[in-house]
Amino acid sequence: MEPRSLPLAVLKGLIDGATLATALGTKSEAQAEYFFREPGGFRRDFTPYRASTDRSKEEEVRRRGQIDMRLKIIRRLCGRVLFALATLCAISSLAGAAPDDSMRIHTGLRNYDGARRLREKQLQKALESLRHKTGFLDMRFDEAGYLTLGDRNRVAGGSGVARELLISAVDGDKIFELEAHDSSPSVAFARLTVKTIYTNFGAGARIVGMAIQLDFTDFAMLRGEREALMAFDIGFAILHELSHGVLGLKDDIARRRLGECDERINLIRRDLGLPERRYYLPAISLILPPLVEEAELIFALVRWKDGREKTKMFYLRWDAKSVGPRESQTAKTR
pLDDT per residue over 90-110, tens digit each? Answer: 555 544 444 444 446 789 999
What does the pLDDT read at residue 90? 59
pLDDT(3) > 60: no
Q: Where are the domains of the chain?
A: 109-273
Cβ 224 vs Cβ 313: under 8 Å: no
Question: What are residue 93's DSSP bridge partners?
Answer: none
pLDDT level of residue 54 (50, 70, 90 thresholds): low
Mean pLDDT, the chain, rounded, equals 80
pTM for this entry: 0.67
Instruction: Report how far residue 150's alpha carbon sits from residue 137's, in angstroms, rounded to the nearest whole number.
Output: 8
Alpha helix positions (H), the chain: 8-11, 17-26, 29-37, 50-104, 120-134, 160-170, 216-220, 226-230, 234-247, 260-271
Higher pLDDT, 309 or 119: 119
| Average pLDDT of span 245-268 | 89
DSSP letters spanning 40-104: T-S-TT--TTHHHHHHHHHHHHHHHHHHHHHHHHHHHHHHHHHHHHHHHHHHHHHHHHHHHHHHH
**Who has greater pLDDT, 22 or 80?**
80
**How far is it, in rounded angstroms, from Cα 196 to Cα 175?**
10
Is the model's pLDDT at 18 over the cut of 90? no
Identify which has the larger pLDDT, 267 or 309.
267
In percent, the amount of the chain with pLDDT more than 70 equals: 72
CB neighbours of residue 199 within 10 Å: 14
266 phi and psi angles, rounded to 5 deg: -65, -30
pLDDT at 53: 60
Looking at the chain, how many residues does it have? 334
Is pLDDT of 234 > 60? yes
Q: Radius of gyration of the chain from Cα atoms?
A: 45
> For residue 198, what pLDDT is reported?
74
Lowest mean pLDDT among 15-29, 73-87, 126-140: 15-29
